[in-house]
């Protein structure tokens, strides 16, 4: 009978679709774990394919590549002293495809298929995977290990079945995305499963960015007495050894590394950094380019970009119009200097004149309005895209969630770009994040310590500067009111009466609701961006563009 286990937890960052690269990383960490004396090396959910693979698993030749690597692992396992546990798509002989945990040891392959497939928020696994039967434990060197996969621990059924069929401990493979407060929710869920089952649970989560999603790692182990034995860091790739021993009729994890995961504004900021870093790195861009307007959104976006990529991979451009203030020119230059990035200047006045001349016959007799304002924004977008095409840098969009919610943005203008780090960040939080970053330099940041956003950029009234003396609040409610109303509508799905009961003006609520609905067509054409909250635009919140419902308004 085995009385102790050394389990290496590989909190790694796979790339969706890179089966060869992911397999090479698994092999490397597996060998290293074995050399360090591990009995078993554990990797996250769908680590071999990358998570979420979405419709890639519908391609037979993609699954062929996955299974070929599994076969190679099985052959290699006869030479490696440690066992290997990882997540992968698994195709049965009948053609059904499962989200599976694969355990390989000494030439044998065991498979446990995910039973509870999530189909809410950002998840739609029922679309591409079949649900497995309730699983029993697997025998690993004399120890009966239950292997739930992610959602399998969010309800009692799978752990109950594993306990009844003799599991002695549980190892959960996860691809659990970040959102603010999510770590505490995970911990409470796992504690409840420990309470119900009496089993210790090792929770292994992946790290890294994948399109809109960011995975924050923060893997941990909980003992039957509810003590936190191991806590790995958030937002960092790492491999850690955990030590397990038999204790009477059960198992316990000995106390090991315990790094508190970041929370609050730090966790949001680090999610944005990791999301952008991986989007640029995994898609092969040499860097990013963005318009630096002298405003707070572009300043924060530039700071995140520098922290993610380094100043040498970030280009900024100031694109003044006749309505750009001298203050904005100074603030853009000050922001670029603080960050150490290149700042170019391209005046869009000639483009505005050219469009005015081109369109004069069409617009004859009509007063200037938002059309001319949008031409300015689109001239800037055209200039950024031209530089992107010429040099390969991805355009980083700088719009925030408040603007995207109500359509206070120009299609093919300031909305153009390949990615947005502020897409799920309300304007009031933009200010808070700027102040936080000026006081803190997060681990792994490639930007400078100290102030990175000029104080005047944070304190001056926001303005698009598309007409004389323009202020955002000429067109929008004050951001404190706007953001609270939007949070009620988007995150909480509240009706008008409930929002008014919170102290908001009825007509303002009606106006914001209407702006939110009619801007849906714009959001469909917006770039992807980091999800940090509970209802991000994109996969998580989906409304029809053609929509006549107006609820209580």
Element (H, E) at 387: helix 370-391
DSSP-derived pairing of the beta strands 143-146 and 138-140: antiparallel
Could you give the CA distance from residue 443 to residue 432 in angstroms, rounded to a whole number? 19
Q: Which residues, at least 6 apart from 460, have a Cβ–Cβ distance to it below 8 Å?
A: 327, 331
45 classed as catalytic: yes
Return the CA Rg of the chain: 26
How big is the CA angle at 513 (ends 465 and 528), to the nearest 5 degrees? 65
Nearest to 470 by CA among 325, 265, 308: 325
Quote the CA–CA distance of 246 and 248 in Å, as a whole number: 6
Nearest in space to 89 (alpha carbons), one of 115, 119, 114: 114
Residue of 150, 253, 416, 488 with catalytic role: 150
- Is 150 a known active-site residue? yes
- Contact between 85 and 105 under an 8 Å Cβ cutoff? The reply is no
Strand partners, 27: none
* Residue 161 annotated as catalytic: no
Give yes or no for a contact between 465 and 328, defined as CB atoms under 8 angstroms apart: yes
Could you say which of 114, 401, 427, 522 is catalytic?
114
- By the 10 Å C-beta count (0-12 exposed, 13-18 middle, 19+ buried), 326 is classed as exposed
d(CA 202, CA 173): 9
Catalogue the active-site residues: 45, 114, 150
């Amino acid at each position: 009978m085995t009385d102790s286990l050394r389990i290496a937890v590989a909190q790694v960052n796979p790339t969706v679709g890179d089966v060869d690269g992911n397999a090479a990383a698994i092999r490397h960490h597996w060998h290293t774990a074995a050399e360090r004396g591990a009995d078993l090396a554990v990797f996250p959910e769908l680590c071999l394919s990358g998570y979420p693979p979405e419709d890639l698993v519908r391609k037979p030749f993609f699954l062929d590549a996955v299974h070929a690597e599994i076969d190679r692992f099985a052959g290699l396992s006869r030479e490696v002293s440690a066992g290997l546990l990882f997540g992968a798509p698994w195709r049965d002989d009948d053609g059904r495809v499962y989200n599976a945990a694969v355990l390989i040891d000494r030439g044998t392959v065991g498979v446990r298929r995910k039973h509870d497939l999530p189909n809410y928020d950002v998840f739609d696994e029922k679309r591409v995977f079949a649900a497995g039967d309730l699983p029993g434990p697997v025998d690993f060197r004399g120890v009966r290990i239950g292997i739930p996969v992610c959602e399998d621990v969010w309800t009692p059924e799978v752990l109950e079945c594993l306990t009844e069929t003799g599991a002695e401990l549980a190892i959960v493979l996860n691809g659990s995305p970040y959102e603010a407060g999510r770590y505490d929710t995970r911990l409470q869920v796992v504690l409840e499963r420990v309470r119900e089952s009496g089993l210790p649970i090792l929770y292994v989560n992946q790290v890294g960015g994948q399109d809109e999603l960011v995975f924050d790692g923060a893997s941990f182990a909980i003992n039957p007495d509810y003590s936190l034995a191991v806590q790995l860091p958030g937002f960092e790739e790492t491999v850690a050894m955990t030590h397990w021993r038999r204790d009477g009729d059960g198992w316990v994890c000995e106390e090991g590394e315990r790094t508190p995961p970041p929370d609050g504004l730090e966790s949001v900021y680090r999610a944005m950094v990791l999301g952008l870093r991986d989007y640029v790195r995994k898609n092969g861009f040499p860097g990013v380019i963005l318009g630096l307007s002298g405003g707070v959104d572009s300043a924060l976006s530039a700071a995140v970009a520098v922290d993610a990529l380094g100043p040498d991979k970030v280009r900024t451009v100031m694109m003044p119009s006749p309505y750009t203030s001298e203050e904005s020119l100074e603030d853009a230059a000050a922001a670029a200097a603080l960050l150490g990035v290149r700042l170019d200047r391209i005046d869009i006045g000639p483009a505005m004149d050219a469009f005015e001349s081109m369109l004069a016959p069409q617009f004859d007799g009509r007063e200037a309005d938002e059309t001319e304002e949008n031409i300015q924004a689109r001239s800037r977008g055209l200039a950024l895209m031209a530089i992107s095409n010429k040099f390969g840098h991805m355009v980083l969009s700088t719009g925030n969630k408040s603007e995207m919610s109500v359509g206070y943005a120009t299609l093919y203008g300031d909305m153009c770009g390949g990615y947005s780090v502020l897409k799920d960040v309300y304007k009031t939080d933009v200010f808070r994040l700027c102040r936080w970053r000026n006081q803190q330099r997060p681990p792994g940041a490639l930007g400078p310590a100290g102030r990175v956003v000029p104080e005047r950029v944070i304190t001056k009234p926001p303005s698009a500067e598309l007409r004389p003396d323009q202020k955002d609040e000429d067109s929008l409610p004050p951001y404190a009111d706007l953001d609270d109303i939007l949070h009620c509508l988007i995150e909480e799905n509240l009706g008008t009466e409930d929002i008014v009961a919170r102290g908001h003006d009825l007509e303002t609520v009606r106006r914001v609701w209407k702006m939110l609905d009619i801007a849906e067509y714009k959001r469909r054409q917006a770039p992807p961006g980091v999800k940090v909250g509970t209802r991000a635009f994109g996969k998580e919140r989906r409304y029809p563009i053609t929509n006549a419902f107006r609820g209580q308004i």
